[in-house]
């Protein structure tokens, strides 16, 4: 993982849906919908504080005429 303006950081898998950044202890957890098994959010957690980031559809900004399906 590499954040803007920072060096490369090592992520290790803690489970199928969770990764830990070794140096800082940052946890990144993928929220999976039970019905579709698709990722619908991420949770970033460090030192007991968390921040949820909901998935934005990949269709944002696509012309409806050319949108698949």
Inside any domain, residue 6: no
Closest CA to 3 of 46, 47, 55, 59: 46
Domains held by the chain: number: 1
> In which domain, by residue range, is 47 found?
30-55
Inside any domain, residue 38: yes
Inside any domain, residue 45: yes
Residue 69 predicted with pLDDT over 60: no
Inside any domain, residue 17: no
| 8 A C-beta contact, residue 30 and residue 39 | yes
Inside any domain, residue 1: no
Inside any domain, residue 48: yes
Q: What is the pLDDT of residue 15?
A: 96
Percent of the chain whose pLDDT exceeds 90: 48
Inside any domain, residue 42: yes
Structure confidence by residue, pLDDT tens digits, 20-40 = 998 888 999 999 998 989 999
Inside any domain, residue 34: yes
Residue 64 predicted with pLDDT over 90: no
- Can you tell me the distance from the alpha carbon of 29 to that of 42, in angstroms, rounded to the nearest whole number? 6
Query: 50 is written with which tokens?
Result: 């968390």
- Rounded to 5°, the CA angle 7-13-19 comes to 60
């Amino acid at each position: 993982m590499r954040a803007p303006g920072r060096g490369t950081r090592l992520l290790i898998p803690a489970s199928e849906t969770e990764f830990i950044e070794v140096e800082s202890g940052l946890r990144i957890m993928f929220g999976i919908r039970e019905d579709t098994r698709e990722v619908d959010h991420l949770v970033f957690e460090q030192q007991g504080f968390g921040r949820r980031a909901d998935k934005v559809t990949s269709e944002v900004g696509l012309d409806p005429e050319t949108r698949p399906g």
